[in-house]
Amino acid sequence: MKRIVLSLFLLIQFSLIAQNNNPAITKEEIKDHITYLASDELEGRFSGSKGEKLAGDYIAKEFQSYGLKTMFGDSYFQEFDFTSNIKLGENNFLTISFGEQSHNLKINDDFITAPFSGNGKFEGEIVFAGYGISSDKLNYDDYEGIDVKDKFVLVMRYNPDNDSTKSEFDAFSALRRKASIAKDKGAKGIIFVNGFKPAEDDNLVEFKYDRSAGIDDFPAVHVKRDFADKLLAANGKNFKEIQAEIDNTKKPNSFLITDGKANVETEVIYNNGVGRNVVGWIEGSDPELKNEYIVLGAHYDHLGYGEVGSLYRGDDILIHNGADDNASGTTGLLELAEKFASDPSQIKRSIIFMAFSGEELGLLGSIYIVNNSPVNIENIAAMLNMDMIGRLNEDTVLNVIGVGTSTNFKSMLEEKNSFGFNLSFTDDGFGGSDHQSFTNKNIPVLFFFTGTHEDYHKPSDDTEKINFAGQEDIVKYVYDVTVELSNTEARPDYVQVKREAPRAGYGGKVYVGTVPEFGYEGKGFKLSGVSDGGPAQLAGLQGGDIMIKFGKKDLENIYDFMYAMSEYSPGDEVDVVVLRDGEEKTFTLKLQSK
């Protein structure tokens, strides 16, 4: 009896092992992988979190079970540092004085430090500066006729048209932009306040990291309306009437607040995190071609509890599991790794499998790996990226981006489409996922994507909404395409595709053709690349340049760049200064129309 039980036990174990090492791409395995990766246990896989570590460990163990080789000594992991979030330090104080009255404001109740505030202690007089807008283009200047040098400016949120997105003033509503203008005018710091419009409520702004550095030596705080009301009343002014007059006449009404003073101390602490790319590879079978590589990639991080990038507007704090974004693509990567590892002789070129972290924070992992590549970056023949491949709809639309980055991609994709996909092609290799990091290194790319949906970046992006059978076909399709690219004698050529100018966004109607390096946390605006035929490329700018001046505007970050653009029109020529290899260089751009 014991022998029978033991035999049955061994048979079951053998069956489980055989099932777990099945090289076939199946919807059942896809479901199993996504179910774990998008489970609450992983808490949304936010970069640097416990959940991201669990996901990374899971991927590495799968790679090991398939027999993939490591690329970082005996490890599958490549670590990178990043700023994960911000928090308020202990030293955030604000005292507002007028006449003999003095009010010590309480953090989080009476005021909040802006997330982009500089740190330090500051003191100065207070000037009311309306909405804090200054624009030659709009012929409107809240700073005209007033001296704000070394003073604090008290500035209303929004603009004279309140929160209308159709207003010419709307581009000046961002608090960062108001702070940037105030600093350019010589102010010591800025105090934001809610007016009585567009709403009577008086909520403080959210203290949330916007993925960019703060404004050095420039404090920014937001106070409750009651304190601003009292401050103005002490000067014989009625806050509500002042706002109404500015809104109705569209004319500034700025003035020095007599005996008004502010004592401010601000401390914003930047938390550092460590992300991990998970990388394994299979050596090709051809003695010569094995020295070239096809990269298969997918990001495995997501939004955690919605700390960054969430489109959820509810009040509850909920896990964002990211089943489609991007447990689906990560699962595709695992299935492909298992399939290729089962018979390496079928591929001539080597294949690298890269699971990126930090994508949701700005392509951090993929940017890091292309700049710190485990192989010569010039030997990467092509990169195929899978991001959100789990929602194939009834029309079987599969988006493939980057088809113009190599001459034969389009015909090859159509030839390999034995699954009947309704293929939707985009020529350029740009777009908000990790393939862009490789495009910027002149590597041909293909990005497979089933499209956005109502659950995108929301807690409702869960496993039960995945089309497992549809994803199985997509992964098999990517497999066929990869086999073709691995085995062609001629390496895919790289074609630089002119990027379509964006139709909306910051910068008004002008187009510069710069591609940001989103992971950059230093001063200035760093370029990861330039669009072919755009003003930046035609003027001589290139990837790696750090733009520090656009026209008359000094640039501390990407936001300053966007704000500066909006002051120009198509056809204008503007001088820009960049740092290239530590040296300042000046270029003249002729701006194009969006």
Structure confidence by residue, pLDDT tens digits, 579-588: 999 999 999 9
- Band (pLDDT 50/70/90 cuts) for residue 501 is low
Q: Say which CATH architecture domain 510-593 belongs to.
A: Roll (2.30)
Residue 129 near residue 148 (C-beta atoms within 8 A) = yes
Domain 90-266 falls in which CATH fold?
Glucose Oxidase; domain 1 (3.50.30)
Query: What is the mean predicted confidence (pLDDT) over 145-158?
Result: 97
* Model pLDDT, residue 512: 95
Q: Give per-residue pLDDT as tens, 292-342.
A: 999 999 999 999 999 888 999 998 999 999 999 999 999 999 999 999 999
- Band (pLDDT 50/70/90 cuts) for residue 456 is very high
Residues contacting residue 582 through CB under 8 Å, at least 6 positions apart: none
- Residue closest to 206 by CA, chosen among 132, 114, 270: 114
* Model pLDDT, residue 307: 84
Domain 27-85+272-487 falls in which CATH fold?
Aminopeptidase (3.40.630)
Packing angle of the helix pair 27-37, 329-341 (nearest 10 deg)? 130
Residues contacting residue 1 through CB under 8 Å, at least 6 positions apart: none
Which residue shows structure tokens 């591929």?
347
Residue 391 near residue 450 (C-beta atoms within 8 A) = yes
Burial 384-407 (b: 16+ CB within 10 A, else e): bbbbbbbbbeeebebbbbbbbbbe
Least confident of 70-79, 334-343, 489-498, 519-528: 519-528
Pairing of strands 268-282, 77-88: antiparallel
Query: What is the mean predicted confidence (pLDDT) over 571-590?
Result: 96
* Model pLDDT, residue 93: 98
* Model pLDDT, residue 508: 61
CA angle at residue 303 from 302 to 304, to 5 degrees? 105
CB burial class (10 A; 0-12, 13-18, 19+) of residue 145? exposed
Please state the pTM of the whole predicted model: 0.85
How many Cα atoms sit within 13 Å of 62 on the Cβ side?
A: 29
User: Which part of the chain has CATH 3.50.30.30?
Assistant: 90-266
- Band (pLDDT 50/70/90 cuts) for residue 10 is very low
User: Which part of the chain has CATH 2.30.42.10?
Assistant: 510-593
User: Which part of the chain has CATH 3.40.630.10?
Assistant: 27-85+272-487
